[in-house]
């Protein structure tokens, strides 16, 4: 019981660190995972038009400054209705939201919106929670702040 209590306490104490956009993953491993899994659809281009990561992919939205952005709000991308609805509720891209979404976009949207008819446009799923957290950590390095 003491081990459980200690583990629960450590989890609660670490939660604020993840709530404010800090990433728990390994950015270097995230770069490798991004280059394997994300570059065919996504790019990271800064406000000056410099490509920082990826190729000139345009299937998915630009992931620059993701950690400071509301979900489904990049102005130059035509999002699906479900993810726009999540963004309109004020949800931001936190590590928890990102990891849940990229592992099962449609499932995450259905759970978040409590709507079994919600659908995501992103068909790809990151299989590993570690890869997803690492990709988030990598993308957090491309924050404008």
pLDDT tens for the chain, 145 residues: list them: 443 333 333 343 343 333 344 678 889 999 999 999 999 999 999 989 999 998 877 789 999 999 988 999 998 899 999 999 999 999 999 999 999 999 999 999 999 999 999 999 999 999 999 999 999 999 999 986 6
Q: Would you say residue 127 lies in a domain? A: yes
For the full predicted model, state whether its pTM sits above 0.85.
Answer: no
48: domain CATH number?
1.10.760.10
Q: Would you say residue 99 lies in a domain? A: yes
Structural domain for 105, as ranges: 24-140
Q: Would you say residue 61 lies in a domain? A: yes
Q: Would you say residue 13 lies in a domain? A: no
Q: Would you say residue 10 lies in a domain? A: no
For 106, residues 6+ apart whose C-beta sits below 8 A from its C-beta are 118, 119, 120
Q: Would you say residue 7 lies in a domain? A: no
Distance CA 135, CA 126 (A): 10
Q: Would you say residue 73 lies in a domain? A: yes
User: What number of residues does the chain have?
Assistant: 145
Q: Would you say residue 88 lies in a domain? A: yes
Distance CA 16, CA 3 (A): 21
Number of domains in the chain: 1
């Amino acid at each position: 019981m003491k081990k459980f209590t200690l583990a629960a306490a450590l989890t609660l104490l670490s939660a604020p660190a993840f709530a404010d956009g800090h990433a728990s993953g390994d950015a270097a491993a995230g770069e490798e995972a991004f280059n394997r899994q994300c570059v065919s659809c996504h790019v990271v281009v800064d406000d000056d038009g410099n490509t920082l990561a990826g190729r000139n992919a345009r299937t998915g939205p630009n992931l620059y400054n993701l950690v400071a952005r509301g979900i489904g709000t990049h102005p130059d991308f035509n999002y699906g209705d479900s993810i726009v609805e999540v963004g309109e509720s004020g949800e931001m891209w936190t590590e928890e939201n990102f990891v849940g979404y990229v592992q099962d976009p449609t499932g995450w949207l259905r759970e978040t919106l409590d709507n079994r008819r919600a659908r995501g446009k992103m068909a790809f799923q990151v299989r590993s929670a570690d890869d997803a957290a690492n990709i988030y950590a990598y993308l957090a390095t491309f924050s404008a702040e």
